[in-house]
């Protein structure tokens, strides 16, 4: 049983349908060469999956025939919704804690809709309302470029220290009031500290690891991990080889090393899972959602108690759902 805070499977399915024919809905349900599909998510014991609508740069989405961000996000979010509608015994779009609890009771995997890259919000508060109404419950404020919310993680120390924009600050407060989860993965360090200062409820890093173990700007420093924990937040362990190991290799042992380091630094209550399935590649041992139960078993063998493994697997994430959604 697990909750995964981040996968790029939905946008991947839309691009695959454009390139190879077929429908994104069919690919989301069954695509053996993807890291994740709903069929295997069910078999692996997925309690809830956060499906990111990752919005790449405009030139990339226009190569697939989309002229606006909105047209693209409508299609990606629509594909997840249509998949749930076509397979109601397997997947259900949920937007509140009560809906999530009901899905658990009914034995159906919950799907949370998220935006990765806040660019489609376009600096307009009413767009936050629109996307909320479309079912979006989490926004990863930036991807790897500046946008209306703020600046991205960067090797350039000037960009890395830049904070949120005025709109970004206002939007973070509004999102928390509205019941949307604020996600700092990909954000600049300056943006992280602004979010921490503004947030009254927990915020999260949906898919980031420990920077002390692997010096990548996408990872979190010890101080950031502690601040996240102080706010009751979580970080999802990301399987991306470049974030796990400076040699660019991701193994079970590498992920487990980050898990222990983060637990020792900021406490086990800050740990969750954020696979980044179908958003990562390279030298990747955990390349199939069916391997999630193996990772959980290995976490236990590495010294975490069953209770701690349960927290990492889903209980900490469930706490966030209860504390942040309506
Ligand atoms: Zn990402």
Task: Provide long-range contacts, Cβ within 8 A and 24+ apart, for 155-161.
Answer: 155/217, 159/188, 160/188, 160/189, 160/190, 160/217, 161/188, 161/189, 161/190
| Whole-angstrom distance, CA of residue 325 vs CA of residue 49 | 15
Percent of the chain with pLDDT over 70: 100
Rounded to the nearest whole angstrom, what is the distance from the C-alpha of residue 180 to the centroid of ligand 1?
Answer: 18
Residue 275: predicted pLDDT = 98
315 alpha carbon – ligand 1 mean position (Å): 22
Q: What share of the chain in percent tops pLDDT 90?
A: 100
Task: Work out the mean pLDDT of the chain and round it to a whole number.
Answer: 98
Q: Provide the pLDDT confidence category of residue 64 given band limits of 50, 70 and 90.
A: very high
Contact 28, 13 (CB under 8 A): yes
**Å from CA of 113 to ligand 1 middle:** 14
Predicted local confidence at residue 244, as pLDDT: 98
Measured in Å, residue 185 CA sits from the centre of ligand 1 at: 7
Distance 277 CA to ligand 1 centre (A): 10
CA of 84 to the centre of ligand 1 (A): 23
* Whole-number pLDDT of residue 129: 98
pLDDT of residue 280: 97
CA–CA separation, 163 and 195 (whole Å): 9
Q: What are 112-133's pLDDT values in tens digits?
A: 999 999 999 999 999 999 999 9
CATH no., domain 2-324: 3.20.20.140
pLDDT at 44: 98
CA 54 / ligand 1 centre spacing (Å): 8
Rounded distance from Cα 106 to ligand 1 centre (Å): 31
pLDDT band at 216 (very low <50, low <70, confident <90, very high): very high
pLDDT of 126 reads 98
**The predicted structure's pLDDT at residue 157:** 98
Q: How far is the CA of 116 from the centre of ligand 1 (A)?
A: 7
- Say what the pLDDT of residue 31 is: 98
Between CA 58 and CA 321 the distance in angstroms is 32
Per-residue pLDDT tens for 155-201?
999 999 999 999 999 999 999 999 999 999 999 999 999 999 999 99
pLDDT of residue 124: 98
* The predicted structure's pLDDT at residue 36: 98
| pTM more than 0.75 | yes
CA of 105 to the centre of ligand 1 (A): 31
* Per-residue pLDDT reduced to its tens digit, 29-51: 999 999 999 999 999 999 999 99
75 alpha carbon – ligand 1 mean position (Å) = 19
d(CA 187, ligand 1 centre) in Å: 10
Average pLDDT of span 89-107: 98
How many angstroms is it from 279 CA to the middle of ligand 1? 7
Q: For residue 241, how many other CB atoms are within 10 A of its CB? A: 21
């Amino acid at each position: 049983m697990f909750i995964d805070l981040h996968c790029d499977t939905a946008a991947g399915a839309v691009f695959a349908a454009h390139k190879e024919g077929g429908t994104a809905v069919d690919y989301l349900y069954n695509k053996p060469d993807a890291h994740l599909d709903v069929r295997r998510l069910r078999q692996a014991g997925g309690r809830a999956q956060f499906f990111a609508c990752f919005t790449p740069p405009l030139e990339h989405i226009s190569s697939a025939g989309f002229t606006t961000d909105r047209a693209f996000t409508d299609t990606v979010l629509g594909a997840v919704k249509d998949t749930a509608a076509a397979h109601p015994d397997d997947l259900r779009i949920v937007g509140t804690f009560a809906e999530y609890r009901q899905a658990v009771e009914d034995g159906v995997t919950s799907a949370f809709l998220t935006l990765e890259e806040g660019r489609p919000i376009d600096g307009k508060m009413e767009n936050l309302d629109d996307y909320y109404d479309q079912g979006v419950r989490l926004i990863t404020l930036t991807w790897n470029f500046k946008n209306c919310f703020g600046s991205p993680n960067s090797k350039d120390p000037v960009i890395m220290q830049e904070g949120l924009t005025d709109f970004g600050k206002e939007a973070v407060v509004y999102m928390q009031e509205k019941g949307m989860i604020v996600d700092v993965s990909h954000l600049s360090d300056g943006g992280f500290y602004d979010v921490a200062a503004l947030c009254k409820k927990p915020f999260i890093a949906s898919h980031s690891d420990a920077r002390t173990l692997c010096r990548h700007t996408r990872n979190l420093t010890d101080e950031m991990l502690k601040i996240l924990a102080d706010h009751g937040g979580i970080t999802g362990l990301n399987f991306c080889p470049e974030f796990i190991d400076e040699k660019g290799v991701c193994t079970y042992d590498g992920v487990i090393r980050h898990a222990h380091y983060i637990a020792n630094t900021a406490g086990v209550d800050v740990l969750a899972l954020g696979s980044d399935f179908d958003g990562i590649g390279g030298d990747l041992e955990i390349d199939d959602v069916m391997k999630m139960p193996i990772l959980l078993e290995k976490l236990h063998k590495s010294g975490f108690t069953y209770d701690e493994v349960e927290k990492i697997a889903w209980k900490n994430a469930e706490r966030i759902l209860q504390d942040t959604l309506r």
